[in-house]
Structure 1
Amino acid sequence: MRRSRVRVLRQSLLMLLATVLAAAGALPARAAATTDWSVAVVKSTMQRFTPATIGGWSYPVGLYLYGQYQVYLRTHDAAYLTYLKSWVDRFVSANGTINQSFNSLDSMLAGRLLIILHHETGQSRYAVAAATIRHRLDSYPRTADGGFWHADTSSRAHQLWDDGLYMVVPFLAEYGKEFNDPSSDAEAVKQLTVYANHLQQPDGLLQHAYDESKTASWANPTTGLSPEQWCRANGWYGMAVVTALDDVPTNQPGRATLLTDLNRFAAGLQQYQDPATGRWFQVIDKPTGAGNWTETSCSSMNAYTLSRGAQQGYIDSHYAALAQKAYHGVLARLSIGSNGLTNLTTISIGTNVGNYAYYIGRTQATNDFHGLGSFLIMNEQLRTPTGS
């Protein structure tokens, strides 16, 4: 009995020591195994920013707050939802007017929060605001085969970027589910199919962008494709497919095509996952390229896609192990600083379409919202009940 008590006491002291060292900035996330890293990231971000200072209406903030909402669903900490609502209410009036032009797909991702708040509060103003985005899509410019342009501007005309799928497809799928709108479900599936038809390659992964006019500086004059497979663009795509499969009806026409495309995509991720770290490289299909580096946000996105896809039976169950390896690779990039706040490193900042040198030269930021949001989404999918 005495030995058992000594062993328990020793384990408790070791856990306490790990937590103290992590708080002092001496340990990475994986060493402090009992920390709830989702809660730690959310509390750190809420301490760094108020709803008024976290930023304007934008997709990176929208992504982060969607991740924060996932943590709320588990913890039921009302402060997390109140914070989200306070941010959204900066832009939505009492009658549902939202002062945004919605002339780019990027501007639509945060619309998911409108659907969330309608679901949580029942207030009609959020439905009115969400409908503003949905109706804008009815007149939004498209390629000849129906793909939404990345933006309704001369510099983005006729272009499809993988990024745009996550900006608009989850909104459509969730709008269809919340408001029983079959046209939104059909549109979500159509966009994923059109984009994949242009961008998905034989290795299962996607080129970053396609220009129907073939006039963009980066576009191949024959194919219209951009030259590289950027990792986060692929991460956006994977999460968009899984979200659509989760939310559109199981008898939705075109669903079988999405499953085929997702399985090809998962095989591509497996091919290029870094065996040493579990993460993926900034230019995903050139892991040995000079200057290439493993990037945190896309690794989180890919881990989520593989884990959720395997859990739901969309892809083979063996991909769950790849997701776990990626998950721990991302955790190695997370730590607690001397100020007690979390730091998530090696996140590519906002990125346009470019060549190899452009992608590997992007700033590697700490606590960028692309990384924080995707981390929370991943962590809520993969965390264990006792920690991480």
Structure 2
Amino acid sequence: MKRSALSVAACALALAGLVGTAPAAPAAAPRTRAADDWSVALVESTTARHTPTSIGGWSYPVGLYLYGQYRTYLRTGDARYLTYVKAYVDRFVDQDGNTAQKFSSLDSMQAGRLLVILHHETGEDRYRIAARRIRERLTSYPRTSDGGFWHADTASRAHQLWSDGVYMVTPFLVEYGAEFDDEAYTDREAVEQLNTYARHLQADNGLFQHAFDESRTAAWADKETGRAPEQWCRAVGWYAMAAVDVLDATPEDGPGREELLRTVRKLAAGIARAQDPATGRWFQVVDKGGREGNWTETSCSSMFTYALSRAAEKGYVSASYREAARRGYRGVLAKISRGADGLTRLTDISIGTNVGDYAFYVARPRQTNDFHGLGAFLLMNEQLRKQG
């Protein structure tokens, strides 16, 4: 977490006098009708629908959404948004930094980004202690023979790498390292995890298979390659966002960075080729847009748009990818609207998904206002709105 990026937010919170206070009750309806600021509209709508208690348990979809809410807070300075995040996290972390979380899966680690944020914003040591539990868990966390973190420490996920998993842990790692002076480990580990996953999962077309099983025993695993059969869009999106976030946070001369840049450039080309020319969005099975039953999915379209825009802005890929990002942005904005109650509705978001075949993915239920989509939308919108 770059301290310079957060200093303005910390000052805003201090001036508001909200650190350590009880959260305000959620509004009955959005306090603004800022139709031209969809991040504010979406956050106001979501916090009107859910209190910090009712929003759900400790999970990566809620963690993703709240990280997006935090990014909106950094821009707007509306301290209610950060107070809400704090109230959510305080359900799971006591005054001594204890938490019931066992961190037995990568998914369970994603919301750890909120711990780093809250330590930076409040200075409360309990958030450092809780975040340290994730850092320490990684020292004994199971890995493949070449060092990749298993998707989960369970028999059903043993020896498996899922493209989803890198987002659940690598952004946390680099942000933890920056906040707690541990970059010597965290930067190296984050880059190497991304590179290890790419070696197993990136296909010739630049995109990623959903998963890899080193043991070749999973029902979905190819007996020769260990790879899952399909390129599910949100799994690819998770990797794309993680790679850009880690590149942003690590030194230009760091070990493994050139390999990661090559991966990102190949991935960006694959993403751009797979974009639906009619809508600007991307398909649920991303490389098979023309097949019967396939449909454009909102969360991955937000992820790809964010990743292409950010990578082009930072020079990781050619500036020409900004046009694909702009088309993606317009495509996703076509999926958000206000209902009769004035609250936002973001549609066509795939629910959480296991590894499967083509028929499995295209049959996944499509939800409105699913947290996977809300969080990805906020990250995309905060990136793209500044691009004009």
Please indicate, yes or no, whether the TM-score normalized by the shorter chain is above 0.5: yes
Superposition deviation, residue 99 in structure 1: 1.1
1:146 and 2:125 correspond: no
- The SS at the match of 2:161 is strand
Contact (CA 8 Å) 2:35, 2:41: kept in 1 or not?
Answer: no
- Which residue does 1:292 correspond to in 2? 294
SS in 2 for 1:383: helix
* 2:164 aligned partner: 163
Q: Tell me whether 1:172 sits opposite 2:194 in the alignment.
A: no
| Distance change >3 Å, CA 385–CA 281, structure 1 → 2 | closer
Aligned partner letter, 2:218: A
Do the aligned residues in 2 keep the contact of 1:88 with 1:114 (CA within 8 Å)? yes
Residues 205-236 of structure 1: CA deviation (Å, up to 9, x unaligned):
00000000000010011111000000000000
Aligned partner of 1:210 among 209, 212, 215: 212
Q: By how many angstroms is 1:370 displaced?
A: 0.2
Give the Cα separation in 1 of the matches to 2:44 and 2:35: 16
Residues 255-308 of structure 1: per-residue CA shift (max 9 Å, x gap): 111111000000001111000111000000001011000000000000000000
The amino acid across from 1:224 in the alignment is G
Give the Cα–Cα distance (whole angstroms) in 2 for the partners of residues 34 and 125 of structure 1. 38
How far did residue 385 of structure 1 move? Answer: 8.4
Write the deviation string for residues 51-95 of structure 1: whole angstroms up to 9, x where unpaired.
000000000000000000000000000000000000000001111
2-structure distance, mates of 1:385, 1:202: 31
Number of equivalenced pairs: 355
Q: Against the structure 1 CA distance between its residues 33 and 263, is the aligned structure 2 distance closer, same or farther, given a 3 Å change threshold?
A: farther
User: What does the per-residue CA deviation read over 1:88-140, in whole Å, with 9 as the maximum and x for residues that have no partner?
Assistant: 00001111111101000000000000000011111111111100001000100
Q: Corresponding residue for 2:249?
A: 247
Aligned mates of 1:176, 1:247 — CA distance in 2: 10
Q: Which residue of 1 aligns with 2:80?
A: 79
Structure 2 gap segments, 5+ residues each: 1-32
Matches of 2:271 and 2:68, distance apart in 1 = 23
Q: Show the 5 A alignment for 1:340-351.
A: 340-351=342-353
> Sequence identity, in percent?
65
Instruction: Give distance in 2, aligned partners of 1:334 and 1:327.
Output: 11
The separation in 2 between residues aligned to 1:180 and 1:238, in whole angstroms, is: 26
Partner of 1:61: 62
Query: Is this contact kept in 1: 2:34–2:40, CA < 8 A?
Result: no
Give the match's secondary structure for 1:202: coil
Larger radius of gyration: 1
Q: TM-score, normalised by structure 2?
A: 0.90
> How far is the alpha carbon of 1:250 from its aligned partner?
2.1
TM-score (norm 1): 0.90
Structure 1 residue runs without a partner (length 5+):
1-31
Say if 2:383 is the partner of 1:375. no
Structure 2 Cα separation of the partners of residues 213 and 162 of structure 1: 17
CA distance in 2, matches of 1:349, 1:215: 26
Using the alignment, how far apart are the partners of 2:122 and 2:255 within structure 1? 32
In structure 2, what is the Cα distance between the partners aligned to 1:204 and 1:385?
26
Distance (whole Å) between structure 2 residues aligned to residue 45 and residue 287 of structure 1: 31
Q: CA deviation at 1:35?
A: 2.2
Higher relative contact order (CA 8 A, sep 6+): 1
Aligned match of 2:117: 116
**C-alpha distance in structure 2 between counterparts of 1:189 and 1:202, whole Å:** 21
Instruction: State the alpha-carbon separation in 2 of the partners of residues 33 and 287 from structure 1.
Output: 34
1:225 pairs with 224, 227, 235, which one? 227
The amino acid across from 1:290 in the alignment is E
SS at match of 1:292: coil
Where 1:210 maps in the other structure, the secondary structure is strand
Q: 1:155 is paired with a residue of what secondary structure?
A: helix
CA contact (8 A) 1:176 1:248 kept: no
